[in-house]
Amino acid sequence: MSPALPPAAGGTAGAEDTLSVPVTAVIPPTTIDALLDRYEAILFDAYGVLVHAGGPLPGAADLIARLNREGRRYFVVTNDASKRPDTAARRYQRFGLPLDASRILTSGMLLVPHFAAYGLVGRRCTVLGPPDSARYVEDAGGVVVPPDERFDVLVIGDESGFPFMEWADAALSSLFEAIDAGRDVHLVVPNPDLIYPAGSGFGFAAGTIANMFEGALALRYPGRADLRFVRLGKPNTPIFEDAVRRAGTGRVVMIGDQLETDIKGARAAGLDAVWIQTGVTQEIPATTPEHLRPTWRMSGLVSDVDHPGHPDHPGMIPVVR
Ligand SMILES: [Mg+2]
């Protein structure tokens, strides 16, 4: 099903050619129509593919309406753990995307199996995040408490929609207090993303906040390699496995904008993957091993770009760095 890809380190081209034809140029382009012919189900990442923080991306509303009309199988597979599926669906609908909540799989939903697997049901949890992040934790069986109280589990749901610095400082202080007292605290972040596209620019995502806590923990407790967050969402495979199970077919392709989450995760789950160039990842490094490379690439959801083609490589597109 996957097209043959050239070797990772520049193929047979000389050094000069390798520089003028980055690896991106030899990943074959595709279109939504071609994908619908080839695959039985499509998984979409949300941010950088269908939407940015402030609205829809070009072609997204028409595409979702078309998929609904044609009865296609598709799901949105997102690391966003700040909104439950029904909240997210209402927001997409305000953006003009006729998306039903049952189509939306979030990393927040992974807390249910995670809490069960780690025996966290009934434990005291502090959640940095808006009310929907706390509800994900309650759905998983956690008892949500304020960040300045004793807690057994720290969940980072998001970085906005609550008094971030105040809560983060309080959670850090409670965390240090627990560790100093020799108590175990479980650390988990459903969304490992570091940044997200915000329309006119970018914003920090929950994974960056986890990194911030880990930096503080490493400073105060050097040598405690165990004081790390468990990261649940893409690129880890459970969310892809759930999507494939719901799709009811193995002929599934993932469309995402980030190499490190969407493409890496889809390939690890045995799926083909499309890198769409409307989000975070701007180029695929030439050193990227083949199993992490996208199967296809698209400049955007709307295939109205008349690609110029590379003079020395017909059908391949030079990418300006
Ligand atoms: Mg994205």
Domain assignment present for 278? yes
Encode burial over 207-240: b for 16+ CB neighbours within 10 A, e otherwise.
Answer: bbbbeebeeebeeeeeeeeebebebbbbbbebbb
Position 8 pLDDT exceeds 70 = no
> CATH no. for residue 168?
3.40.50.1000
pLDDT at 21: 57
Q: How far is the CA of 314 from the centre of ligand 1 (A)?
A: 30
User: Does one domain contain both 116 and 224?
Assistant: yes
How many angstroms separate the alpha carbon of residue 279 from the centre of ligand 1?
Answer: 6
pLDDT at 290 (0 to 100)? 84
- How many whole angstroms from 40 Cα to the centroid of ligand 1? 22
Write down the pLDDT at residue 26: 80
Give the count of domains, the chain.
2
Name the band, by pLDDT with cuts 50, 70 and 90, for residue 305.
very low
Instruction: Tell me: do 175 and 217 sit in the same domain.
Output: yes
pLDDT given for residue 196 in this prediction: 87
User: Are 115 and 179 contained in the same domain?
Assistant: yes
Q: Is residue 101 part of a domain?
A: no
Comparing CA positions, the residue from 240, 285, 205, 231 lying closest to residue 105 is: 240
* 71 CA distance to ligand 1 middle (Å): 25
Does residue 231 contact residue 210 with C-beta atoms inside 8 Å?
yes
Distance 187 CA to ligand 1 centre (A): 24
Is 185 part of any domain? yes
Number of other CB atoms surrounding residue 205 within 10 Å:
25
Domain containing residue 113: 109-231
Per the model's pLDDT, the better-predicted residue between 15 and 193 turns out to be 193
Summarised one tens digit per residue, pLDDT across range 82-98 is 999 999 999 999 999 99
